[in-house]
Structures are given as C-alpha cells and as structure tokens.
C-alpha cells in the first residue's frame, strides 16, 4: 500500500495495542513500525533499476525479517525505553504484529511480497486491492486525526479505533468478494467464448475495487479486457496482444532482461514503438484501457534506452488522465459500455 495508508494504519493499530500503556506515543511508534518493511527503498541508491524491482518487497517484507527486527526492537525498547506496563513480550508483539500486518496488506496488491525470502523467491500477490485505494484508507486517516486531537484517556478514543479499523477491513472483505465475483465471470466468459488459456489474472484499476483489469495468458499472447462488478453481459470484450518473445532474442542474455522476466512472473509482452524496444509487465494494468483498449501498459521499460526508465511503474498509473477519462471510468464502473471505443 501507499506510505500514508501504512502510517495511518500503524497509528490506529498502535493505539489499539498500546495506547493505554504509553499514551499518544503509541501512534508514532505504530506509524514507524508499519513503515519499517519499506526501508528497502535505500537499496535503490546503489543497485540497478532492474535489480531494485526484485529487491523491493523482498527480504524486508519476509517473516524472517519481521521476527529478527521485532526481537531486536523489543529488546531495545524494554531496556532503554522502560515503561511499567510494557514488558519485553508486549514490545515484541507490538512490533511483530504491526510489521506482519504490513506484509499481509501489501500482498493484496499486484507487486507481490517475498514472505519467505531468502529461502524462497516466490512472490505472493492476491490482486484485490489497488496500491492506493481511498475507500480503504479514508476511515483510517480520519481515525488517526481524531486520535491525535483527543486527549489521552478520552473515552471516545476506543470508538475511533474500532470504527476506523472496522470500516477499512469491511471494505477489504468487500474488495476480496469483488475479486471472487470477477474471477468467476472471467472463467465463465472464457468458456463461453471458447478461448483456450493457461491462466489469467484480474486486478483492480486505479483507486477502486469495482472496475477490474484482466490479462489472459493464451500461449503466444494475452487477451486483455476490463470487467465491472456491475456489468450484466456475460461476454467480456478482449483485445489480443502478441507476446512477441522473438523481439528479445538479441538481448536474451542481458541480466536486466532476466530480472524483468522474473519480476513479471511471465505476464509480459515485447514491442517496438518509435524505434524503441519496450518490455511491458501486464500485472499493473493498462493506461486508461477502459477507454482506449489499445493503449500502452502502466509498466513499460525501454530496453533500448535504459536511461529513460526513471519511475517506470509510477509514470504510467495516471498518464493521459483528464476529466473526460475520469467520467468515462465512472460510466464504465456503472456497467455502461455504449460510451466506450
């Protein structure tokens, strides 16, 4: 999730776990605890971009890292930040639970989390929450502000904690149900349309859990489409994108390309645009694809011009957005397709 969401979630959980014992300091320490796994951003200063793709959400997002870090911090705080009501075990549980929540929440996104690094490089990604979803974060943010304003010991503090966490996690469950619904619809549509495939993914479009991006792996290419939870038609309209693996033959031994292929988990295509060889990871969706179905993908990496690859994932998320695109997205969420294409 985005940094602000982790901070707000950490503050509210911190209040729930230790607010009565250490006061408002629980908000600050909770925010720090939730942010600790993202310390891996510092590696970007000395490793290549393609290496950093694999390093991010790698070891620092593993249960081993959580256990080691929680143990060290618990010992430190028990020894140097002595609080009568916070013993060593309580400190350990505080840090351990906070960071574990971070790992679990991040696994709801498309990027993937290396829970079992360094023993296994498998990334866990469940694709039912966009990396920044205001419907998940809003109640946590409001609760955090309220907790900052209320005095320690105020009886309303518990209500804000319960309310903020309940609303957010009810929405999380709702998003998971939407993912189940979309997955069912995609399977039915592929069977109905007699499309042979090996696997597919469905992941939310930006800032919501109602409109979903779909990528279907069909041997030598991918069928790309969008589906709203409010769509009534059983058929899904797909656009076919050839994977075009042969375009990568001349650079197949390059280490950066091997990193990208591993990172993409096989959901990638290669294409040449304006003389540039581009590698696109499909898992992050398509730029305004609900309105422009042949548009580029959010994650596109210039293999022939690596100097152009700053902020490669972020640059495509909101490219080409304007008022018309936003209104088109809202209509598409509502299941209106007559305005599109």
Residue pLDDT, tens place only, 124-140? 999 999 999 999 999 99
For residue 223, the model assigns a pLDDT of: 97
Picking from 174, 206, 232, the residue at the C-terminal end of a domain is 174
Q: Do 132 and 205 lie in a common domain?
A: no
Q: Do 47 and 111 lie in a common domain?
A: yes
Confirm if 136 and 5 have CB atoms less than 8 A apart: yes
Does residue 183 lie in a domain region? no
For residue 36, the model assigns a pLDDT of: 97
One-character DSSP codes across 255-316:
HHHHHHHHHHTT-EEEEEETTEEEEEEEEEEETTTTT-TTPPEEEEEESS-GGG-TTTTGGG
Q: Do 216 and 73 lie in a common domain?
A: no
Q: Which of 298, 314, 296 is nearest to 2 (CA)?
A: 314
| Confidence class for position 338, pLDDT limits 50, 70, 90 | low
pLDDT of 295 over the 90 cut = no
Mean pLDDT of 225-251: 93
For residue 111, the model assigns a pLDDT of: 93
113 Rama class: left (phi>0) / alpha (psi -120 to 50) / beta: beta
Higher pLDDT, 50 or 74: 74
Picking from 174, 201, 226, the residue at the C-terminal end of a domain is 174
Considering its fold, how many domains does the chain have in total? 2
Mean pLDDT of 222-233: 96
For residue 70, the model assigns a pLDDT of: 98
Q: Do 236 and 327 lie in a common domain?
A: yes
For residue 41, the model assigns a pLDDT of: 85
For residue 253, the model assigns a pLDDT of: 80
Q: Do 80 and 110 lie in a common domain?
A: yes
Q: Do 57 and 98 lie in a common domain?
A: yes
Please state which of the ranges 33-47, 213-227, 276-290 shows the lowest mean pLDDT.
33-47
Does residue 270 lie in a domain region? yes
Q: Do 90 and 36 lie in a common domain?
A: yes
Q: φ and ψ at 125, to 5 degrees? A: -145, 120
For residue 103, the model assigns a pLDDT of: 98
% of the chain at pLDDT higher than 70: 95
% of the chain at pLDDT higher than 90: 75
Strands (E), the chain: 199-204, 211-217, 221-228, 238-242, 268-273, 276-286, 297-302
Does residue 61 lie in a domain region? yes
Q: Do 45 and 158 lie in a common domain?
A: yes
For residue 339, the model assigns a pLDDT of: 47
pTM for the structure as a whole: 0.92
pLDDT tens figures, 165-221: 999 999 999 999 999 999 999 999 999 999 999 999 999 999 999 999 999 999 899
Mean pLDDT of 240-259: 89
Q: Do 151 and 9 lie in a common domain?
A: yes
Mean pLDDT of 308-335: 78
Mean pLDDT of 261-288: 91
pLDDT of 159 over the 70 cut = yes
CA 152, 154, 157: angle at the middle one, nearest 5? Answer: 90
Does residue 221 lie in a domain region? yes
Mean pLDDT (the chain, rounded): 91
* Domain housing 271: 193-333
Does residue 188 lie in a domain region? no
pLDDT of 98 over the 50 cut = yes
| Confidence class for position 303, pLDDT limits 50, 70, 90 | confident
- How far is 228 from 240, CA to CA, in rounded Å? 19
For residue 82, the model assigns a pLDDT of: 74
Q: Do 205 and 282 lie in a common domain?
A: yes
Q: Do 7 and 138 lie in a common domain?
A: yes
């Amino acid at each position: 999730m985005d940094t602000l969401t982790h901070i707000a979630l950490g503050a509210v959980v911190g209040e729930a776990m230790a607010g009565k014992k250490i006061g408002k300091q629980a908000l600050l320490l909770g925010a720090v605890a939730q942010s600790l796994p993202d310390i891996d951003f510092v590696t970007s200063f000395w490793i290549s971009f393609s290496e950093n793709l694999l390093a991010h959400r790698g070891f620092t997002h593993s249960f081993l890292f959580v256990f080691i870090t929680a143990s060290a911090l618990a010992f430190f705080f028990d020894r140097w930040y002595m609080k009568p009501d916070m013993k060593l075990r309580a400190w350990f549980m505080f840090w351990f639970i906070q960071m574990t929540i971070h790992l679990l929440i991040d696994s709801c996104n498309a990027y993937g989390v290396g829970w079992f690094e360094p023993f296994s490089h498998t990334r866990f990604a469940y694709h039912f929450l966009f990396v920044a979803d205001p419907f998940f974060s809003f109640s946590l943010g409001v609760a955090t502000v309220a907790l900052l304003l209320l005095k320690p010991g105020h009886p309303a503090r518990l209500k804000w904690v319960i309310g903020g966490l309940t609303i957010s996690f009810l929405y999380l469950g709702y998003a998971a149900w939407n993912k189940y619904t979309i997955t069912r619809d995609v399977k039915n549509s592929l069977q109905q349309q007699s499309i042979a495939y090996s696997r597919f993914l469905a992941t939310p479009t930006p800032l919501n859990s109602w409109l979903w991006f779909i990528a279907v792996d069909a041997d030598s290419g991918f069928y790309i489409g969008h589906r709203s939870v409010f769509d009534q038609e059983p058929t899904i309209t797909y656009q076919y994108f050839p994977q075009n693996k042969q375009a990568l033959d001349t650079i197949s031994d390059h280490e950066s390309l091997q990193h990208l292929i591993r990172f993409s988990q096989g959901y990638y295509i290669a294409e040449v645009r304006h003389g540039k060889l581009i590698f696109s990871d499909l898992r992050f969706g398509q730029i305004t694809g609900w309105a422009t179905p042949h548009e580029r993908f959010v994650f596109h990496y210039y293999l022939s011009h690596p100097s152009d690859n700053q902020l490669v994932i972020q640059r495509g998320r909101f490219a080409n957005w304007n008022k018309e695109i936003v209104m088109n997205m809202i209509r598409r969420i509502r299941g209106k397709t007559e305005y599109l294409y």
